[in-house]
Structure 1
Amino acid sequence: MNETPRANRLHIAIFGRRNAGKSSLINALTNQDIAVVSDVPGTTTDPVYKAMELLPLGPVVFIDTAGIDDEGELGALRVQRSIDVLNKADMVLLVMDSGTGISEYEMDLARRCREKKLPLLVVLNKADAHPVPTSFLEEVITRLETDPVLVSAKTHQGIGDLKIAIVRNAPSQWDDQTLVGDLVREGDTVVLVVPVDLAAPKGRLILPQVQTIRDILDHDAMAYVVKERELKASISTLNKKPDLVITDSQAFLKADADTPLDVPLTSFSILFARNKGDLATLVAGAKAIDELKPGDKVLLAEACSHHRMEDDIGKVKIPRWLRQSVGGDLDFQWCSGPRFPENIEEFKLIVHCGACTINRREMLSRIMRAQEAGVPIVNYGVCIAHIHGILQRALSPFPELQEVLKDN
């Protein structure tokens, strides 16, 4: 469980006013002193992430945020960073001091959760310090539209009840997006084309490859891993044709040439586009590649902050292929890590990585932000396949997307 990637964990965000006991609650839930606790308001200044196991849910990430009532210019920035956490949260715990009333801050957060369809639990903390009137409980149910849970982070009173409430209210489908399991059957053979280049850590496979192999094995199929130059020979040695070929997007042309036409072919990046986001929207965005003109602004977004290698896929290869497609230079900008630009409306196209290091809710949030700004967005694998003229082939495992391709 400790090795489960953060992106695959249920993200539980803790919100509340300053000194409501958010950090203390995380310490009580985890039974560890992982969050700084102080009577001084505003101790937590930036979101703090803690990965742990919460049975029976399994691996989760608790996110401790700054007070939603923080003040001043700096406080407003802290509040905005806290609100941004809603884009990656799977559920929200709204912590309130049981001795205070409902303010505009709690009402605003509850409204935001409803808009994002986020499960919300109201946690009335410090229940050991003063009794909670029935009238206040009824007010919480009426105004915040959820049943509150009474706890004391100090004495651990009600913490067990809160864990049960988290289990019961967790989104039932937060982690049921399979990578490849619905594309294979028991006993199928899947050939994985895995180039070993400068970007591949020595002695290891990269995260998308590892997760895909695990999903294949979890669904009782067989994974056959080869380098791109070995694909054709490896297929010829099999007793029967493979049921699916999955390639690194950078090797699309080679894999397309060496894979029999009656064998479905796709890429790791496209699988992650489906797993973490909305593949249909990303495919529809590919049309914008053909409409680019020299000088247009293009954003290349990566969810992780990796050390860029020579001939890097996002920094060098995709820009080179896009320039060749357009027939001129483009104004490229890059972003990496958890921060996504605010000014995306100025771009003609967003090209996003496979998003293997962020969770599905955050990736969907980025897609929705692009849609709201009217900016087409594609995924690395979709972009590369489209530029090389093999997008239809790369989407062969997904017949439901053929109509989207016709529209393009």
Structure 2
Amino acid sequence: MNQTPNANRLHIALFGRRNSGKSSLVNALTGQDTVIVSPTPGTTTDPVTKAMEIHPLGPCLLIDTPGFDDEGELGEIRVERTLKIIGKTDIALLLCETGDAQEQEWLQRLKERGIPVILLLNKADARPNTTELAEQIKASCGQPPIIVSAKDGTGIEAIHRAILEKLPADFGEQTITGSLVAEGDVVVLVMPQDLQAPKGRLILPQVQTIRELLDKKCLVMSCTTDKLKDTLCALTNPPKLIITDSQVFHTVYEQKPAESRLTSFSVLFAGYKGDIHYYVESAFAIDRLTEQSRVLIAEACT
């Protein structure tokens, strides 16, 4: 499960002030010394991620962030990086100390993005007034915090339960091929093995797509571009769907049967990762381009 792609993992991000114990809590949640821990405020200067399987949550990506109260010119840059993590967060763990205006502001910021938030009051082992602080946070933030201690493990199981309760009902139900195919459909995958392909292996999107199609009980045939014609001739009926590598899209389009639908791995994964709607919307800008327009072309594949 540690090989699960990050895009398919539950992204759990920790937010809070410097020295609020975020890094220690990441280590407690993972059961490993994942993040460097120090009593010096500002030790975490960049977001730190750890991908692993956490029972009973499954494959997760834990994200430790710099404190949102960081100061100075570098501090502002770190806070900006913390803000960017919000866009990648499925569930937020917000470490509160008093429930003051700044903590309320970040709680509101997360809720406005539709992100489920779990409030935590950390360092229970070192606070003589934990109960009073918890009531104060509840009064100011509108929900009670889970009292935890990264040092002695108090509240870790309660965090797991809270995450399961906050888990979106449809999390993990998104599929690569969606409703394009059903059981018994014939699907042809056109996969050119060029210099960019890893020797002796298929690239991960191809592997994931094949596995999903097999799980859906589809009939899967794979071929390289030069063998597409032979593959189609070997079939009694045209395939329901053809999925191709983008670089040979035009070549495959010219050979495909009229009855067969055609898409690419890139398009499918743009939909799988939630980007396709933005790409479709952006494509309409092409009609508005003039001779004075400036176009930025960004490679989206890492």
**TM-score, L = length of structure 1:** 0.70
The residue matched to 1:12 in structure 2 has which SS? strand
Aligned residue for 1:112? Answer: 109
How much does 1:128 deviate?
1.6
1:18-64 CA deviation, whole Å, 9 max, x = no partner?
11100000110111011111111111000000001122321100000
Aligned residue for 1:228? Answer: 225
Aligned residue for 1:29? Answer: 29
Q: Report if aligned partners of 1:24, 1:154 keep a CA contact under 8 Å in 2.
A: yes
211, 215, 220: which one aligns with 1:214? 211
The residue matched to 1:299 in structure 2 has which SS? coil
**Quick check: 1:149 aligned with 2:146?**
yes
200, 207, 212: which one aligns with 1:203? 200
The residue matched to 2:193 in structure 1 has which SS? coil
Cα distance change, pair 73–122 in 1 and its aligned pair in 2 (3 A): same
Q: Report if aligned partners of 2:121, 2:134 keep a CA contact under 8 Å in 1.
A: no
Aligned residue for 1:161? Answer: 158
Aligned residue for 2:13? Answer: 13
**Quick check: 1:101 aligned with 2:109?**
no
276, 284, 290: which one aligns with 1:293? 290
| Paired letter, 1:63 | I
How much does 1:239 deviate?
2.7
245, 261, 284: which one aligns with 2:242? 245
The percentage of aligned residue pairs carrying the same residue is 51
Q: Supply the distance in 2 between the matched residues of 1:302 and 1:132 (Cα, whole angstroms).
A: 52
Aligned residue for 2:58? Answer: 58
| Paired letter, 2:45 | T
**What are the ranges of 5 or more consecutive residues in structure 1 without an aligned counterpart?**
306-408
1:241-288 CA deviation, whole Å, 9 max, x = no partner?
212111112211111111111111111121122222253442243232
1:138-175 CA deviation, whole Å, 9 max, x = no partner?
44234323331111100001111111111211222233
Matches within 5 A, 1:236-385: 236-294=233-291, 296-305=293-302
Cα distance change, pair 186–201 in 1 and its aligned pair in 2 (3 A): same
Q: Supply the distance in 2 between the matched residues of 1:104 and 1:218 (Cα, whole angstroms).
A: 50
Q: Supply the distance in 2 between the matched residues of 1:70 and 1:79 (Cα, whole angstroms).
A: 7
Aligned residue for 1:400? Answer: none
1:169-202 CA deviation, whole Å, 9 max, x = no partner?
1222233211114322222221011112222222
Aligned residue for 2:191? Answer: 194
1:65-101 CA deviation, whole Å, 9 max, x = no partner?
11111111111111111111001111110113xxx41
Q: Report if aligned partners of 2:119, 2:145 keep a CA contact under 8 Å in 1.
A: yes
Aligned residue for 1:363? Answer: none
The residue matched to 1:297 in structure 2 has which SS? coil
Q: Report if aligned partners of 1:120, 1:146 keep a CA contact under 8 Å in 2.
A: no
Cα distance change, pair 24–292 in 1 and its aligned pair in 2 (3 A): same
| Paired letter, 1:218 | D
Q: Supply the distance in 2 between the matched residues of 1:227 and 1:216 (Cα, whole angstroms).
A: 18
Q: Supply the distance in 2 between the matched residues of 1:304 and 1:259 (Cα, whole angstroms).
A: 26
**What are the ranges of 5 or more consecutive residues in structure 2 without an aligned counterpart?**
none
Aligned residue for 1:89? Answer: 89
Q: Supply the distance in 2 between the matched residues of 1:302 and 1:138 (Cα, whole angstroms).
A: 49
Q: Supply the distance in 2 between the matched residues of 1:87 and 1:48 (Cα, whole angstroms).
A: 15
Q: Report if aligned partners of 2:134, 2:147 keep a CA contact under 8 Å in 1.
A: no
109, 125, 149: which one aligns with 2:122? 125
Q: Supply the distance in 2 between the matched residues of 1:247 and 1:208 (Cα, whole angstroms).
A: 11
Q: Supply the distance in 2 between the matched residues of 1:131 and 1:304 (Cα, whole angstroms).
A: 51
| Paired letter, 1:37 | V
Q: Supply the distance in 1 between the matched residues of 2:187 and 2:227 (Cα, whole angstroms).
A: 14
Q: Supply the distance in 2 between the matched residues of 1:62 and 1:34 (Cα, whole angstroms).
A: 10
| Paired letter, 1:101 | T
Q: Report if aligned partners of 2:13, 2:64 keep a CA contact under 8 Å in 1.
A: yes
**Quick check: 1:184 aligned with 2:181?**
yes
> How many corresponding residue pairs?
302
Higher mean displacement: 127-136 or 162-171: 127-136
Q: Supply the distance in 2 between the matched residues of 1:105 and 1:10 (Cα, whole angstroms).
A: 26
Q: Report if aligned partners of 1:181, 1:215 keep a CA contact under 8 Å in 2.
A: no
**Quick check: 1:48 aligned with 2:62?**
no
Q: Report if aligned partners of 1:65, 1:82 keep a CA contact under 8 Å in 2.
A: yes
Cα distance change, pair 231–143 in 1 and its aligned pair in 2 (3 A): farther
